[in-house]
Amino acid sequence: MIKLTETVLNGLALGSVYALIALGFVVIFKASGVMNFAHGSLLLFGGYVTARLHDAIGFIPAVLVGAALAAALAGLVQLLATRGLRGAEIHTLTILTIGVDVLLSTELNRQVGADYLTMGDPWGADVTRLGSITVADARIAGIVVAVIVIGAFFAAFRWSRWGLSMRSAAADPEAAALMGIRLDRVRLIAWCVAGALAALAAVFLAAFPAPGLDRTTSQIALSAFPAAILGGMDSAVGALIGSLVIGLTAAMAAGYQNELSILGAGFSDVAPYLVMVLVLLVRPTGLFGSKELTRV
């Protein structure tokens, strides 16, 4: 029972960090139809800024600056895409993000080098004991912050003007533009939000029990990819549920690796993708993705 509780807690902690990343994927996809392959390096960039600044200005300001700069960088990518390549096909823009990712991650790798950059977070290596279960404080903080931030995001999405514009832009860009919604601005904000969420995720990915931010941290963004697809690329709720499903699946499959050994060692790496494929077989647009209706 203890093992189950601990495994579920791990899965939730992992899932909530994935959710921050997957939401970013979804927001960008919803607003501009682009799959942002540069998300991993945006995440690394935000984390890098936080890691470099926390000594000088303190942890919270460093996180805010990291999020702001990552948001600005994401916005810059979007501006480049809309201004520089106006009229380009969506898949061209998607490929553009791969190029941005290569450039950005090469430079960041050079900057980070062999180091493990610490985030200077207040939780350090502290742990909390709940009966016979021990959880790292940074993990708990990760879940709490993710819940608050994601809650705020959903509130904004549901009730703010930007949320309304965003939803209408996603539903029908042409009609939205005709109704006076400035698509460029909606998209710009979407990219910025995604950048900020990624920077926040980086902080919790690098916090204890991980040793710190290093050049491989950005690869975790890839794990959030099945989460976004599983939930449906254009559904924010889907991203959240998908992330939790993926987080729990990965944790369960690794935690019960020996019981699952009949399926081969290393099954936990495959499990999230297996779940994704199974869900997509039944629901091709993901759990909450909108169905595409075409009249012929």
Residues lying near other proteins in the complex (CB under 8 A): 2-3, 6-7, 10, 13-14, 106, 109, 113-116, 118, 124-125, 127, 129, 134-136, 205, 208-212, 214-217, 219-220, 250-258, 265-266, 268-269
**Of residues 115 and 172, the one with the C-beta less far from other proteins:** 115
Smallest gap from Cβ 41 to other proteins, in A, equals 15
Which residues contact residue 127 at a Cβ distance below 8 angstroms, ignoring those fewer than 6 apart? 134, 135, 136, 137
Q: How many residues does the chain have?
A: 296
Smallest gap from Cβ 51 to other proteins, in A, equals 11
**Of residues 7 and 290, the one with the C-beta less far from other proteins:** 7
Residue 165, both tokens: 């514009």
Nearest-angstrom CA–CA distance, 246 and 265: 19
Cis peptide before 209, with omega less than 30 degrees from 0?
Answer: yes
Smallest gap from Cβ 40 to other proteins, in A, equals 12
Smallest gap from Cβ 291 to other proteins, in A, equals 34
Nearest-angstrom CA–CA distance, 214 and 199: 14
Smallest gap from Cβ 43 to other proteins, in A, equals 12
Q: Between helices 183-206 and 161-171, what is the axis angle to 10°?
A: 110
Nearest-angstrom CA–CA distance, 232 and 227: 9
Smallest gap from Cβ 222 to other proteins, in A, equals 8
Q: Are 112 and 50 contacting, i.e. CB atoms less than 8 angstroms apart?
A: no
**Of residues 118 and 290, the one with the C-beta less far from other proteins:** 118
**Of residues 114 and 281, the one with the C-beta less far from other proteins:** 114
Q: Are 59 and 120 contacting, i.e. CB atoms less than 8 angstroms apart?
A: yes
CA dihedral angle for residue 238, residue 241, residue 245, residue 251, rounded to 10 degrees: 130
**Of residues 113 and 180, the one with the C-beta less far from other proteins:** 113
Residue 253, both tokens: 């499959």
End-to-end alpha carbon distance in the chain: 55
Smallest gap from Cβ 231 to other proteins, in A, equals 21
Residue 115, both tokens: 């180091």
* Burial of residue 196 (number of CB atoms within 10 Å: 0-12, 13-18, 19+): buried
- Among 165, 145, 146, smallest CA distance to 156 is for 165
**Of residues 31 and 224, the one with the C-beta less far from other proteins:** 224
**Of residues 106 and 160, the one with the C-beta less far from other proteins:** 106
